[in-house]
Structure 1
Amino acid sequence: MRIALSQFAAHTDTERNLEHIRTTVARLSDVDIVVFPEAAMARFGIPLGPLAEPLDGKWATAVRQIAADAGVLIVAGMFTPSPDGRVTNTLLITGKGIDTHYDKIHLFDAFGFTESATVAPGSRTVVAEVDGVGVGFATCYDIRFPGLFQKLADDGALVTIVPASWGSGPGKREQWELLVRARALDSTAWIVACGQAYPGDEVASKGPTGIGYSAVSSPLGEIREQLGQEPGLLIVDIDPDEALAARKTVPVLANRRF
């Protein structure tokens, strides 16, 4: 399975970000999945309500068409309206005969930021079968919760994709890298973590807008590929059978008691 991770710093303009998705996918070939960060529709630090769109709205429909034309699965973060007046932090997952979404379950009420003030939490886990391989989905702060990743593995995920907009600050890069590797070990699955690039100090001060360092961890917790903090495109080939082999070598899912 070949996966492309597009690490970029999303703009406040949804059309500009859509064009980034379009041009990125157009330049790729022989790729199965293209992953964009959390909040790829528009970055944090601005009012989200006015730009949120339903899953059948213009922005998501355009992404679906891009995926269909290219014959790839696209995973991209967007915001959808919530019935309670907030928005939902949603991953659009579309292409290759798949059309589903994941709403972020664990909201970032930490480090002085209160995501739940404007964002409603999701409640369901999502695993999709992509070319015969189980792929799970999580978003950013979710990566601090091992139970979610083990649940995804129980549901058949050999790969879990984690778009993120990881807030900057002391020790945050170290935490990000540690958590990517730890969740791989917890679930004995590949972790494909695609974050927003670092946008500069001025923009970063307005919200959790990203630090870069997108990374891919093997099921045994080895960082196989990683970007720096600047925008970039990372293409990785992963072997789902490595997850099956890891589960025979270190059967933590079978051996756990809690």
Structure 2
Amino acid sequence: MKVALGQFAVDRDWQNNVQTCVDLMQRAAEQHAHLLVLPEAVLARDNSDPGWGLHCAQPLDGPFVTQLLRASQGTTLTTVLTFLTPGSEHKALNALIAIRNGEIVARYDKLHLYDAFAMQESQRVIAGNEIPALLEIDGMKVGLMTCYDVRFPDLARRLACDGAEVLVLPAAWVRGPLKEHHWELLTTARALENTCYMVAVGECGPRNCANSLVIDPLGVAIVKAGEAPALLFAELAPERVRQAREALPVLENNRFAPPQLKA
């Protein structure tokens, strides 16, 4: 499976962001990618106004998603991204969607909200309550995660127990002391401990560190980006997953039951 990683800095204006997304989709499709992963919360961002994303939230049938669906028509490319969509109690949902050929083929509302390092995502966002179903792309089973989820091994393990061979992680990973180290360490750990590929895409810009990467099932980084906008490609092989799981059968040897959400 050929994957594309499109990292960019999210603009204050959603119209600019949708055009960036469409451009990356077109470029990925031209290179015959099967999967394009974009960053987290790509609808709109203003780093000087934490509430701006909530102010700009759009429903699934709003103009942002409608334009992306239109751009996806006629191709086999699956595009994964997250954006804020209106929820209840004057808050939003951080919704991950996968779109393909004019349709939304998967949705996952972020389970773990980023209430850490002096930030409070829960002030503006409602946590999801469902483990996402796997998505099949080019014969490989793909599990969906969002940013802060990577710090919680249970979700990645549950997806692997469900059969995931690839984990995708749109993110807006905030800069800070050791944060780039955390990003690489955590994405590598989730791939290695579950013998899955990890495709993690970060947002660029003054607040976030970008550094998108693909980690293979034995913890090897096969492609990495820096801090600037980029579109990278990598090939994921089902044979590599099978070889890793034969050599390192941690899922088979595991004596714990698959993780469950708290009631």
TM-score relative to the length of structure 2: 0.90
Gaps of 5+ in 1: 205-209
Q: 2:67 aligns with which of 41, 62, 68?
A: 62
Residues 1:14 and 2:14 aligned together: yes
Q: Aligned partners of 2:62, 2:105: CA distance in 1, in Å?
A: 14
Q: 1:99 to 1:31 in 2, by over 3 A?
A: same
Q: Report the Cα offset of residue 98 of structure 1.
A: 5.6
Give secondary structure in 2 for the equivalent of 1:66. helix
**1:125 maps to what in 2?**
131
Are the aligned partners of 1:26 and 1:70 in contact in 2 as well (CA < 8 Å)?
no
Gaps of 5+ in 2: 257-263
Of 43-52 and 74-83, more deviation after overlay is shown by 43-52
Q: Point out 4+ residue stretches in structure 1 off by more than 4 angstroms.
A: none
Summarize the alignment of residues 28-67 of structure 1 with structure 2, pairs less than 5 Å apart: 28=28, 29=30, 30-43=32-45, 45=47, 46=49, 47=51, 48-67=53-72
Q: 2:145 aligns with which of 129, 138, 152?
A: 138
**1:3 maps to what in 2?**
3
**1:115 maps to what in 2?**
121
Encode CA deviations 1:5-47: one digit per residue, 9 max, x unaligned: 1110111111100000111222232111111100111236432
Give secondary structure in 1 for the equivalent of 2:128. coil
Q: Aligned partners of 1:119, 1:155: CA distance in 2, in Å?
A: 27
**1:207 maps to what in 2?**
none
Root-mean-square deviation (CA), in Å? 1.4
Summarize the alignment of residues 1-258 of structure 1 with structure 2, pairs less than 5 Å apart: 1-28=1-28, 29=30, 30-43=32-45, 45=47, 46=49, 47=51, 48-95=53-100, 99-126=105-132, 127-197=134-204, 199-200=205-206, 204=207, 210-258=208-256
Q: Report the Cα offset of residue 257 of structure 1.
A: 2.5
Q: Aligned partners of 1:114, 1:124: CA distance in 2, in Å?
A: 21
Q: Report the Cα offset of residue 143 of structure 1.
A: 0.4
What amino acid is the match of 2:18? L
Give the percent of matched residue pairs that are identical in Structure 1 and Structure 2. Answer: 38
Q: Report the Cα offset of residue 64 of structure 1.
A: 1.4
Encode CA deviations 1:199-232: one digit per residue, 9 max, x unaligned: 13xxx2xxxxx20110100001111110011111
TM-score relative to the length of structure 1: 0.92
Q: Aligned partners of 1:168, 1:74: CA distance in 2, in Å?
A: 26
Are the aligned partners of 2:210 and 2:227 in contact in 1 as well (CA < 8 Å)?
yes
Are the aligned partners of 2:97 and 2:104 in contact in 1 as well (CA < 8 Å)?
no
Give secondary structure in 2 for the equivalent of 1:109. coil
Are the aligned partners of 2:168 and 2:199 in contact in 1 as well (CA < 8 Å)?
yes
Q: Aligned partners of 1:9, 1:69: CA distance in 2, in Å?
A: 27
